[in-house]
Amino acid sequence: MPYSFGKKLGYVRGMRRILQALAIVLTPLTAAAQGTAENQQATFRSGVDLVTVSATVRDGKGRLVKDLTRKDFEVIDRGERRAINEFRSERAPLSLAILFDVSGSMDTADRKTAAKFAAHHLINQLDGGRDEAGLFAFDSRLREVAPFSVDTRALKGALGEVDPFGATSLHDAISAAAERVATRPMARRAVVVLTDGIDTASRLTPAQVSAKAAAIDVPVYIIATVLPIDDPTSDRATPGSKRQAPASIGTIEDLARWTGGALHYSSTSASAYQAARSVIDELRHLYLIAFEPGADPGWHPIEIRTSQKDFVVRTRGGYVAGPNAR
């Protein structure tokens, strides 16, 4: 029968129950089989449910590797090699949840302007009528500014509706945004967060959020809005920031990495453009890999390798296996 990507029926509902019970990473997931064909995810399907993972590959110089095939990869699951049942690398539409930090701390030092530059460049990189994005804002709660749409002009117009105020529930907002984009039918989905990294009000920890996003294969990309002196990639950065990220960024950098995403910086219009371009380019060249899950329930750490030892593969940290988990 034909295969489709990521169809995880009712997965978000099951994950919400898990988080409410504070069962993290090692707890088997429960999924409800419900929803319409429109809001269910596409997944590889065979005679059994398959685990799907997205992976980015870069060479020793940090350049994206775009021409690998199934035979170039191997999947290691709890130390055991798994056969790759399905593999795809062709260009496909994107679905982004663009998460805009509107907390009070974003209203200082031109952080709001830097974030809007990055959001504008992200939308500019989308293929109008093909790729989609939804725009969300958060302070102490998540608010939908613009629903998922392929109308890039409408999305740009909605950027004017976000204004900073209030406390910050960054981790909670990332979790909620991951739930939203996980219901979209596109195979290449991600959350892109525009933030200064300061969290003052979340219930969830970065580890809880990354476990959830990794389990549903939604990479989280962070575009950190900072001053040039705090931007490790800027020529104007102070010696300290050249060596390490600002303290407020460290935990969300780990969060992004654990989900298969990455951290970028936006301190000028030029760096905002470069960050947006890098995120979109990565998503367009994801390798999508499917394999049969392990029989033992619980958390399965995974590693994706290539035959080229100098290639670096970035993917989610693992998946949860169980009778109803996907």
Helix (H, G, I), strand (E, B) or coil at 58: strand
Q: What are phi and psi of 73, to 5 degrees?
A: -115, 155
**d(C-alpha 226, C-alpha 214), whole Å:** 26
Q: Which domains does the chain have, with CATH numbers?
A: 11-86+288-321 (no CATH), 94-284 (3.40.50.410)
CA distances to 37, 178, 245 from 184, in Å: 10, 10, 33
* Helix spans in the chain (H): 11-20, 111-125, 152-158, 170-182, 206-215, 239-243, 247-259, 269-284
Q: Tokens for 285?
A: 């060249």
**d(C-alpha 320, C-alpha 293), whole Å:** 9
Q: Could you read off the pLDDT tens digit of each residue along the chain, which spans 326 residues?
A: 443 333 333 333 333 333 333 233 323 322 332 333 333 334 444 445 899 999 999 999 999 999 999 999 999 999 999 999 999 998 899 999 999 877 767 766 577 778 888 999 999 999 999 999 999 987 667 889 999 999 999 999 988 877 655 566 778 888 888 989 989 988 899 999 988 776 666 777 777 787 777 777 889 999 988 777 777 776 665 555 544 555 556 677 888 888 899 999 888 888 889 999 999 999 999 999 999 999 999 999 999 999 998 999 999 999 988 755 54
CA angle 256, 260, 264 (to 5 degrees): 45
> For the whole prediction, is pTM greater than 0.95?
no
pLDDT, residue 17, reads: 37
DSSP type of residue 285: T
pLDDT, residue 46, reads: 41
Tell me the DSSP string of 226-260. Answer: --GGG-TTSTT--HHHHHS--HHHHHHHHHHHHHT
pLDDT, residue 165, reads: 58
pLDDT, residue 229, reads: 76
pLDDT, residue 14, reads: 39
